[in-house]
Amino acid sequence: MHLVLPFASAMSPSAAHAATTLTLPHLERLLARLDAGPRLVGEELSLSAPHERVLAQLRGWTLQDGLLPTAAEAARRDGLAPTPGSGWGLLSPSHWHVGTEQVSLTHPGALQLDEATSRQLFDAVKFLFEDDGWRLHWGAPSRWYAEHESLATLPTASLDRVVGRNVDLWLTMQVEGRRIRRLQAEVQMLLYTHAVNDAREAQGLKPVNSFWLSGTGPAEPASPEPTPWQVIETLREPALAEDWAAWAEAWQAIDAGPLRALLAEAQAGRPAQLTLCGERHAQHFAAQPRPWWRGILAGRRVHSAPLLAEL
């Protein structure tokens, strides 16, 4: 059993405070029993989040910041069939909030997009991309896909990096990046007066006024093999929404459920692995053969808060 935990920590002061309130007995007993492996080191402003780099590594992909083909992988799960080597990207319909000092990307969950509304918006903007030689595919209300050869080599920032932050930090200034900015401007102008957004605003919903491109890279061959790891996603939504009380509750549930089960595996002498992912780094832990006297240390307490703060 190998558990991967994205958003196990965050760097904001509020998140750091919430982490100090956590009571995670099963995690701490696991940390006492497992050995730390090499840390996957990164930066807060890297294009790809640590958990994305971990999953790319597990899948055997080449690690290139901003060029991890997660869009093509998601497209397959949505029933599409990307050709290996073709360039794909995830187009996330989004709301850009214009503040006094910056433009920020609102959490996608706040849009409450249904299929009918999403398809109307998709159909409205599709021709803008097709005029540039792109092919667009509808996958789900919040997941549209773009296919174009340029997307195989265009690094883009993960949606998980950008939500709630200043989009200018993440917009690429490469030649192809300028094309993306032009398309974003054209989409913004088209949607500004669109009837769908008028109806949404009348209902008190945020207008869909732009898109975010992410997950670019060359599509990898489909892998029919079941993945030997499990990604625990329940920390993601509260972390992106900066709801640290809900994030702490999700952590407690993980400790009482999946981590308790992983601890039982380790105690039974079966292979057990854990990867904790923060905003900068990811840390891997695994059971390793050890001398008999190391078993005495397995009952000691390892405090989780300092470890999480380092990620």
Output the CA–CA distances (angstroms, integers) from residue 218 to 82, 85, 253, in the order listed: 9, 5, 37
Give all strands of the β-sheet with 282-286 in edge-to-edge order. Answer: 35-40, 282-286, 273-277, 2-5, 230-231
The total domain count for the chain is: 2
Structural domain that includes position 124: 70-218
Q: Of 184, 218, 252, which residue sits at a domain end?
A: 218
Q: Closest Cα to residue 16, out of 281, 168, 242, 295?
A: 242
Q: Domain check: are 268 and 166 in the same one? A: no
Angle 258-267/25-33 helices, nearest 10 degrees? Answer: 30
Q: Domain check: are 299 and 270 in the same one? A: yes
Q: Of 218, 240, 275, which residue sits at a domain end?
A: 218
279: number of Cβ within 10 Å: 22
Q: Domain check: are 190 and 81 in the same one? A: yes
| Domain containing residue 170: CATH number | 3.30.70
Residue-level pLDDT, tens digit, the chain, 311 residues: 899 999 999 988 999 899 889 999 999 999 988 988 889 999 988 999 999 999 999 999 999 999 999 999 999 999 999 999 999 999 999 999 887 778 889 888 789 999 999 999 999 999 999 998 999 999 999 999 999 999 999 999 999 999 988 888 887 655 567 888 889 999 999 998 899 999 999 999 999 999 999 999 999 988 766 678 999 999 999 999 899 999 999 999 999 999 999 999 998 888 899 999 999 999 999 986 555 445 545 556 667 888 888 88
Q: Of 189, 218, 247, which residue sits at a domain end?
A: 218
Could you tell me how many residues make up the chain?
Answer: 311
